């Protein structure tokens, strides 16, 4: 690990005034990247003691979650378990208990890909070293993306929490160095790789995530299903977060987000449009999967994800619509 300067911020306003610094709270991803010299920030600003660790009700029946709420605490929060079980399940599916105790809400949204070529400083990786190439396209790409890829990058986003929050229409609240505050829908927060895969979000330099807001829970059942190589501490090959309501024998509303498939928590309006107004059943579920996979592309070792996500989506939709009135 290379040397760096360290400062501790007492307020969010003080934190964003630290020019050219990286924020650190739990450090469960950033410290690993620094040890491997994948990232070498010149300065760290410790934000772990900021007053951003509360979960509060909002006027519209939703929740405002502080950026420093630990993943374990958020998963166990009674209001999350009752109103947003898809989020609680997604959090519990991520990492180990020890990591969940340290990992924060804001940091979870910003964790970086687990592509092996990104972590290997001897490999070509446009995300780590722009313009160097992408060894993942022709190399060991079993865990990598089949949607939203580009010639420059086929990495996946690793978060479970963010997939559930995407299905829940979460909004990210930020504070910028000049004092400006933004509300960014999570669907607009991440960027596709294009030819600049090193730019992963719409955050500006020095902009700090302060909270995440969830709207009042939508009607319907919720679930999160994660398919992985082993039952604990493994990243998703495919995951599905779903909120589906059925009325009078037909799907009245649907919100579905996917992990393990793309460079961001993936959501496609065409998938939900294929479901709404239709009677639950295998033909309807197949049409939704067709919409999801219309532009899917495997790269050899990850070709199996295409039939796997089709089967996983079908299982999730059966669970969410079975015996629903």
Query: Can you tell me the mean pLDDT for 142-162?
Result: 98
Helix, strand or coil for residue 70?
strand
Please tell me the predicted confidence (pLDDT) of residue 324: 73
Q: Hunting for tokens 């070709």 — which residue is that?
A: 303
pTM for the whole structure: 0.97
Please tell me the predicted confidence (pLDDT) of residue 325: 55
What is the rounded average pLDDT for all residues in the chain?
97
Query: Can you tell me the mean pLDDT for 154-168?
Result: 98
| pLDDT of 75 above 60 | yes
Q: What is the C-alpha to C-alpha distance for residues 144 and 167, in angstroms, rounded to an integer?
A: 21
Query: Can you tell me the mean pLDDT for 28-49?
Result: 97
Q: Which long-range contacts (CB under 8 A, 24 or more apart) does 266-275 make?
A: 266/147, 266/148, 266/166, 267/166, 267/167, 267/187, 268/292, 270/294, 275/244, 275/251, 275/317
Instruction: Give residues with Cβ within 8 angstroms of 66, minimum separation 6.
Output: 51, 52, 53, 54, 55, 105, 210, 211
pLDDT 10s digits, 58-70: 999 999 999 999 9
| φ and ψ at residue 126, rounded to 5 degrees | -70, -25
Q: Are 195 and 151 in contact (CB under 8 A)?
A: yes
Number of residues written out for the chain? 325
Query: Can you tell me the mean pLDDT for 10-28?
Result: 96
Q: Are 65 and 55 in contact (CB under 8 A)?
A: yes
Please tell me the predicted confidence (pLDDT) of residue 233: 82
pLDDT 10s digits, 77-125: 999 999 999 999 999 999 888 999 999 999 999 999 999 999 999 999 9
Query: Can you tell me the mean pLDDT for 128-141?
Result: 97
Q: Hunting for tokens 């299982």 — which residue is that?
A: 315
| Helix, strand, coil in percent for the chain, rounding step 5 | 30, 20, 50
Cα 252 to chain center, whole Å? 26
Please tell me the predicted confidence (pLDDT) of residue 232: 79
Helix, strand or coil for residue 172?
strand
Q: What is the C-alpha to C-alpha distance for residues 90 and 6, in angstroms, rounded to an integer?
A: 33
Q: Are 9 and 47 in contact (CB under 8 A)?
A: yes
| pLDDT of 205 above 60 | yes
Q: Are 207 and 174 in contact (CB under 8 A)?
A: yes
Confidence of residue 265 (pLDDT cuts 50, 70, 90): very high
| pLDDT of 279 above 80 | yes
Secondary structure (DSSP) of 297-325? ---STTTTHHHHHHHHHHHHHHHHHTT--
The 10 Å Cβ neighbour count of residue 121 is 12
> CA gyration radius for the chain?
20
Q: What is the C-alpha to C-alpha distance for residues 113 and 105, in angstroms, rounded to an integer?
A: 17
Query: Can you tell me the mean pLDDT for 132-144?
Result: 97
Of 260, 309, 261, 266, residue with least CA distance to 285? 309
| pLDDT of 170 above 70 | yes
Q: Which residues pair with 212 in a beta bridge?
A: 65, 172
Secondary structure (DSSP) of 100-116? HHH-BHHHHHHPPP--H
């Amino acid at each position: 690990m290379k040397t760096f300067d360290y400062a501790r911020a007492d307020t969010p306003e003080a934190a964003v005034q630290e020019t050219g610094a990286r924020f650190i709270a739990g450090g469960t991803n950033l410290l690993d990247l620094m040890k491997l010299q994948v990232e070498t920030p010149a300065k760290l600003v410790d934000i772990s003691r900021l007053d951003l660790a509360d979960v509060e009700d909002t006027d519209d029946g939703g929740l405002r979650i502080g950026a420093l709420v630990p993943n374990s605490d958020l998963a166990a929060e009674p209001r999350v378990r009752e109103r947003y079980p898809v989020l609680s399940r997604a959090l519990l599916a991520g990492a180990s208990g020890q990591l969940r105790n340290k990992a924060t809400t804001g940091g979870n949204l910003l964790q970086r890909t687990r592509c092996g070529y990104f972590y290997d400083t001897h490999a070509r990786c446009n995300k780590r070293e722009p313009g160097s190439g992408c060894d993942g396209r022709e190399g060991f790409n079993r865990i990598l993306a089949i949607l939203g890829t580009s010639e420059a990058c086929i990495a996946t986003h690793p978060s479970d929490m963010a997939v559930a929050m995407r299905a829940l229409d979460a909004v990210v609240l930020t504070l910028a160095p000049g004092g400006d505050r933004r509300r960014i829908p999570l669907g607009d927060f991440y960027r596709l790789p294009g030819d600049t895969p090193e730019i992963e979000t719409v955050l500006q330099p020095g902009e700090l995530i302060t909270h995440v807001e969830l709207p009042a829970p939508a009607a319907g059942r919720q679930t999160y299903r994660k398919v992985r190589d082993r039952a604990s501490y493994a990243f998703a090959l495919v995951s599905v977060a779903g909120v589906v309501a059925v009325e009078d024998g037909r799907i009245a509303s649907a919100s579905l987000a996917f992990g393990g498939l793309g460079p961001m928590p993936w959501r496609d309006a065409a998938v939900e449009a294929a479901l709404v107004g239709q009677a639950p059943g295998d033909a309807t579920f197949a049409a939704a999967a067709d919409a999801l996979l219309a532009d899917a592309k495997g790269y050899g070792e990850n070709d199996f994800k295409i039939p796997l996500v089709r089967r996983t989506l079908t299982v999730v939709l059966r669970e969410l619509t079975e015996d629903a009135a």
